[in-house]
Amino acid sequence: MRIFENKTKINVNVSSEIGRLNAVLLHRPGIEIERMTPQNAAEALYSDILNKSIVDEEYRYFCGVFEKVTNVFYVKDVLEMLLEDDDLCNSLVTQSCKMEDCEYLVDELMSHDIKTLASELIEGFRYREGKDPERFASRRYVLRPLYNLFFTRDASSSVYDKVLVNSMSFDVRKRENLIYKSIFKHGFGCETINAQDWNHSARTEGGDVQIGRDDLLCIGEGIRTNAKGIEFLAQTFKDRPKFNIIVQQLPLEPESFIHLDMVYTFLDRDRCMMYEPMLRKTAEFAGKSTTWIEIDNGKIHYHDCKDMLEALKHVGLDMEPVFCGGDDLWMQQREQWHSGANFFALAPGKVIGYRRNSHTIDALDKAGFAVLKAEDVAEGRVSIDDYNRCVVTFAASELPRAGGGARCMTMPVNRDSVQW
């Protein structure tokens, strides 16, 4: 079954972080982000609660850029299409309720119209006093809202022609997997893989998985992705004649270091964005290992490296870093905290990120990236195709407080191949 038979067929195919983007999956933050309080924000993996009216305005120009330059699929729209299939709808609702220990709710939810049901699966189903078991009263929702769904990268990752449905580390995010697995298996007709199908203790998250090349993955090992998850990926691709995995160990705290893409992202064939203390392994990065896993005709070899740049050179990528926050240590720390290293490539050398990280944007400007405003790109006044290298900046004060940036909020479905 493939939901998009009557649309332009887009197959999952992502063999780098920088190839020209042909399709992307996004989710507009909905009222689910308003369904948390200061008391449950930490459980929802937020450090603060957000103002949705401001989020809406910020996201409008963010997604407007993508709508201008590529094919955009929105999670809720695709979910509604999936729910039109009765068997798939029943399966998704049943699994969702089982995961939340509210299987008694299945028949009631199945009686709702598709738009209402799609909203309930994302925004939550509220507890009703006297009708629902009292065990749900303290958390207010029987089906918990998917507060983090707009970080479409975390729960699913395009890895070449497959989608890695990630084994999330926190219960509040695990139900996202059901939606993404359905979208890619039944919507895009793609093979999905999951580390927990191989080993129950294995963990992976999309922010830690970066595709360097068709023979290279760069992976962060930290609080969200563990050694078993990395071993799963090594086993998945070990049958290729040549394959490489570069593993950068991350600190377990603070929360701004939860994923590799909070400290490192690819910008172009020979440029990357990097948080300098990680490169130099100073302060909190002291002692954090960098390992090059070399897979040669099924045999796996491990090599210790000084840092990521050295490891990348071993596999033939000589990357020149641009430093998050520029040259000043204080600014580096401030801007990394608000996802200053978290860029997403629309095409080689053409990236998008937060405008608020002004020292990072200045560093990109000095490195030859023309600085464009998202408003101008979204409204057609400026085209990224007119520039060799550029950074599209979008204004954001609320979105960064959710703990992620442009890469976190994008799930690429298809990219052009890159000639290295």
Identify the structural domains of the chain with CATH numbers, from first to last: 206-415 (3.75.10.10)
Q: How far is it, in rounded angstroms, from Cα 16 to Cα 417?
A: 7
What the block records as the tokens of 152 is 């479409």
Residue 302's pLDDT is 95
Q: How far is it, in rounded angstroms, from Cα 305 to Cα 202?
A: 24
What the block records as the tokens of 406 is 């442009």
Q: How far is it, in rounded angstroms, from Cα 290 to Cα 42?
A: 30
342-394 residue pLDDT tens: 999 999 999 999 999 999 999 999 999 999 999 999 999 999 999 999 999 99
Candidates 191, 183, 177; CA nearest to 75 is: 183
7 pLDDT higher than 70: no
Residue 415's pLDDT is 98
Residue 69: HSE in the Cβ half-sphere, 13 Å Cα cutoff: 28
Band of pLDDT at residue 43, cut at 50, 70 and 90: confident
Residues in the chain: 420
Residue 5's pLDDT is 52
Residue 391's pLDDT is 98
48 pLDDT higher than 90: no
203-232 residue pLDDT tens: 999 999 999 999 999 999 999 999 999 999
What percent of the chain has a predicted confidence (pLDDT) above 90? 85
- CA separation (Å) from 228 to 171, 256, 291, 387? 19, 23, 15, 42
What percent of the chain has a predicted confidence (pLDDT) above 70? 98
417 pLDDT higher than 80: yes
**Mean pLDDT for all residues in the chain:** 94
> First CA to last CA across the chain, in angstroms?
36
Between 139 and 105, the more confident residue is 105
Mean pLDDT of 32-52: 83
Neighbours of 57 (CB within 10 A): 13
> Are β-strands 125-126 and 141-143 bridged in parallel, bridged antiparallel, or unpaired?
antiparallel
57 pLDDT higher than 60: yes
280-329 residue pLDDT tens: 888 778 889 999 999 998 899 999 999 999 999 999 999 999 999 999 99
Band of pLDDT at residue 278, cut at 50, 70 and 90: confident
- CA separation (Å) from 62 to 10, 67, 121, 348? 22, 9, 24, 19
Phi (first) and psi of residue 125, to 5 degrees: -120, 120
Strand order in the sheet with 299-305: 209-213, 216-221, 242-249, 290-296, 299-305
Q: Cis peptide leading into 29, omega within 30 of 0? A: no
SS3 string of the chain?
Answer: CCHHHHCCCCCCEECCCCCCEEEEEECCCCHHHHCCCCCCCCCCCCCCCCCHHHHHHHHHHHHHHHHHHCEEEEHHHHHHHHHCCHHHHHHHHHHHHHHCCCHHHHHHHHCCCHHHHHHHHHHCEECCCCCCCHHHHHHCEEECCCCCCCCHHHHEEEEECEEEECCCCCHHHHCHHHHHHHHHHHHCCCEEECHHHHCCCCCCCHHHEEEEECCEEEEEECCCCCHHHHHHHHHHHCCCCEEEEEEEECCCCCHHHCCHHHCEEECCCCEEEECHHHHHCCHHHCCCCEEEEEEECCEEEEEEECCHHHHHHHCCCCCEEEECCCCCHHHHHHHHHCCCCCCEEEECCEEEEECCCHHHHHHHHHCCCEEEEHHHHHCCCCCHHHCCCEEEEECCCCHHHHCCCCCCCCEEEEECCCCC
Q: Which residue matches tokens 């020209």?
A: 20
- CA separation (Å) from 189 to 22, 78, 192, 413? 17, 13, 9, 12
Mean pLDDT of 172-187: 93
Residue 218's pLDDT is 98
Residue 6's pLDDT is 47
Q: How far is it, in rounded angstroms, from Cα 162 to Cα 11?
A: 10
Band of pLDDT at residue 4, cut at 50, 70 and 90: low
14 pLDDT higher than 50: yes
Q: How far is it, in rounded angstroms, from Cα 247 to Cα 305?
A: 10
Band of pLDDT at residue 1, cut at 50, 70 and 90: very low
Residue 42's pLDDT is 75
170 pLDDT higher than 90: no
Residue 169's pLDDT is 77
